[in-house]
Structure 1
Amino acid sequence: MLEIKAINNTYSKSAIDLILNIQQKEFNVPITIEDQPDLMQIEEFYVSSGGNFWGAFINGELLGTIALVKFDENAAAIRKMFVKKEFRGKEHNIAQKLLDILIAFCKENGIDEVYLGTVSILKAALRFYERNHFKIIEKQSLPAKFPVMSADNIFCFLDLKS
């Protein structure tokens, strides 16, 4: 039974294990925990600014994450969208459920501009965002306050006003 819930610092170790494994071992992205201190400070980095961090669990095991960093009055960035390889795809639909919860949170909290950065090697992720009405935009089109991650080379935007 899938359960999606907001998570806090008590889940940092589980989130780090899941995310680093996918980044480093599966996709060979040269990124370390030192590059992502936000994962050790979920409440301070995501929640206190008006965003949130969610985890997808089956039988208590963390299988997926998605986070939202609010960086302006009505704008936020999606971060840390990861699903364990064995649980990807339509059968479990975890990524879609995580994104749906994040979008609902945005609508409830007056966030109508959602941005994200990703890396070009994550082809399936890019197709997923495009299916969910995100548009690819140039890096120079990002808002000045957008928190760019060094590894990201593709950027997307979703307008929730329309």
Structure 2
Amino acid sequence: MSDRESIISIEKSIRYISAHVKSHGREILKKYELSPLQFVALQWVDDKVGITIGELSNRLDLAHSTTTDIVDKLENGGFVERQKYEKDKRIVLVLMKDKGLQIIKEVIAKRVSYISEITDHLSSEERDMLPGILESILHESEKKSDE
């Protein structure tokens, strides 16, 4: 297999694995009547304590108005809350509530269980190497995204 063919295979595998992991975790979203996009927004709110709608809009690559609609639905569902930034009252932050944290924990637990199942066939050496390899790829990906 050439280097190019190998890279194409890696891209396809990462894309498919990601889709399968997301799909298994999303089963829980039906219980909470959340869309996959609303859950992604919820994850960004969890990742950055006190994110603005503008920042969230950039992360989701959506129009500000669309992001506002998503935050409205999340707030109405009791998953997040808006709060004025103490240092500058013009800035409104989106903050996670306990209900939002709970759904993230449930989805991540479901995903972790699925990943455990699909990596169970690996040797213990392969399982030990995999996190380091993936972290290294993630680190490089983040560096390229920041450029």
TM-score range for the pair, normalised by the shorter chain length:
under 0.3
- Scaled by the length of structure 2, the TM-score of the pair is 0.26
- Scaled by the length of structure 1, the TM-score of the pair is 0.24
Higher percent of residues as strand: 1
RCO higher in structure (CA 8 A, sep ≥6) = 2
Larger radius of gyration: 2
Higher percent of residues as helix: 2
